[in-house]
Structure 1
Amino acid sequence: MRTVRKALTIAGSDSGGGAGIQADLKTFQELGVYGTSAITAVTAQNTLGVQDIYPMSPKMVAAQIDCIGEDIGTDALKTGMLFSADIIITVAERINHYGWQAIVDPVMIAKGGASLLQTEAVEAVKKYLMPCALVVTPNIPEAEVLTGVRISTEEDKKHAAVLLHKLGAKHVIIKGGHDENSHDSASDLLYNGQDFSYFTSARIPTKNTHGTGCTFSAALTAGIANGESVMDSAKLAKDFIQMAIQDDLNIGKGHGPTNHFAYNHRRVEMKNGR
């Protein structure tokens, strides 16, 4: 009998389909894992921005997670937009209860600038969620908020990674998309508590990057769910998001979504010698 690998996303819903639960499930599907979800909030949003947010109750979030835990199970999970301290504490409790491998994407700000995490929830991320993380995947602004370190240089980035590791995350990936010092490339830094590694790709000049963080962490989660190492999963995630940004869908009037089809389309083209 075929073994089906499974991945769970605990995050907000994006009605525009470019980020959140929708982006995660698309990515899981493209990378061959069965996706399940627990919705933390419903957002009304499109490429122009977030128009409204309606959070779920912590009880409802826990009920969704328990439905997965008591029946389907998961090989890895990721967290995205968790919105409030109460939801964060609830999610951390359920992760610890089931002993699941967790990838934490500490989503704070939407591409259009809307806040997706209440201010008082930052401390809950640090205290309750970080110790659950097999991998934490902040961008530079998120890493700055979580550590209090102003990241201007590579040494700053390394220092922030060490501090995030001390908060409990076993591996830290600080994404380089917001690095103002690098105009031609984007380098993600991976720290495992001992060594630093870099994953570098060409920077693509485009405004259509809505959902890049969600998609990257979902691809990482799919790799972990499939039994790959953190290093190999990080390489997969970097390749997946690079192709998703490169092959522009050009949807909407604002910050358009990435192309979740691109990775597999490119693999087919390479197989056929194109």
Structure 2
Amino acid sequence: MIVMSIAGVDPSGGAGVFADLKTFQAIGVYGTGIVTALTSQNPYKFFSTQPVSPEYIEEQIDSVMDAYEVEFIKTGMLYSPEIIKLTAKKIREYNLKAVVDPVMVATSGGDLTGGDIADAFNRHLLPNSILTTPNVSEAERLSGIKINSKEDAVKATELIDCNCFITGGHLDGINVINIDDEITIKKQELIETDNLHGSGCNLSSAITAYLAKNNSLMDSCLKAMDYVYEGIKNGNYGTLIAKI
């Protein structure tokens, strides 16, 4: 079972491709990683971003697909509309099933994009993907509405052109999942912690890994929620191998 992450590099290892690879390994699948951008950041401060050219990203994807059979992928930081369009093109070309984490802002506060890319997600990537996992802020940008309640989150999932899992970290722990127009609400206890860096990356990569292990999309979402919850509680996603 071989999966792929298309995302940026976080040198602190808590988010991006490095975090995705650790999650893939913890859940028991082999991970490959396509780098879309370099960042200088840590869990507490964001410094800068240096994007990779779309042409070189395409060559990375082609090189992996030349050697491996990959069905499920996740995307994270894609930086620009051009990279989003390229990713959508490669998804179609290789008939990939993509879980999209629509990363726009780092947990530490830095803007991880080269402009307003919500429109590019909506026009190019989400219609070619099987799930997107925005937080409340990202879901607001994708849906065009403010989200202040569970009912608002449900409405937002209906406006986003993709199966959608709005995470509940900024909605009192209320997670809203819309798969094939069926709404599921899952409330989790919020944990008082500073250990949230990369939680969105780990969620989407865990969903991807569970899909590769023949779980349904809903079961993959629920198992990934538990995985991330345990990672936040224990302060380290990479130590969860024995619990999976």
Q: TM-score, normalised by structure 2?
A: 0.97
Q: Which runs of 5+ in 2 are unaligned?
A: none
5+ residue gaps, structure 1: 249-258, 268-274
Residue 79 of structure 1: aligned partner: 75
1:162/1:193 contact within 8 Å kept: no
The answer to whether residue 190 in structure 2 is matched with residue 203 in structure 1 is: yes
**Aligned 1:216-227 pairs, distance under 5 A:** 216-227=203-214
Residue 49 (structure 2) pairs with residue 53 (structure 1)? yes
User: Which residue matches 2:64?
Assistant: 68
The equivalent of 1:263 in structure 2 is 240
Give the whole-Å Cα distance in 2 for the aligned partners of 1:106 and 1:223.
19
CA distance in 2, matches of 1:63, 1:209: 32
The whole-number CA distance in structure 2 between the counterparts of 1:119 and 1:175 is 23
Shift of 1:118: 2.7
Distance in 1, Cα, partners of 2:88 & 2:239: 33
- 2:85 is matched with 89
Deviation at 1:37, TM superposition (A): 1.0
Name the residue aligned to 1:161.
Answer: 157
Instruction: Give the Cα–Cα distance (whole angstroms) in 2 for the partners of residues 216 and 122 of structure 1.
Output: 20
1:190 pairs with 159, 172, 177, which one? 177
Aligned residue pair count? 244
**RMSD, aligned CA:** 1.2
**Aligned residue identity for 2:224:** A
C-alpha distance in 2, partners of 1:218/1:100? 15
- Check whether the contact 1:105–1:213 (CA below 8 A) recurs between aligned residues: yes
Deviations 1:134-181 (A, max 9, x none): 0110000000011111001111111000001xx2x1x210000111xx
Identity value in percent: 37
Deviation at 1:71, TM superposition (A): 1.6
2:33 match? 37
CA–CA distance in 2 between the matches of 1:102 and 1:266?
Answer: 26
Name the CA distance, whole Å, in 2 between partners of 1:150 and 1:262.
Answer: 37
Number of the residue aligned with 1:233: 220
Larger radius of gyration: 1
TM-score (norm 1): 0.86
Provide the C-alpha distance between the structure 1 equivalents of 2:34 and 2:226, rounded to a whole number of angstroms: 27
Shift of 1:234: 0.6
Distance (Å, rounded) in 2 between the aligned partners of 1:199 and 1:30: 24
Matching residue within 117, 122, 125 for 1:129: 125
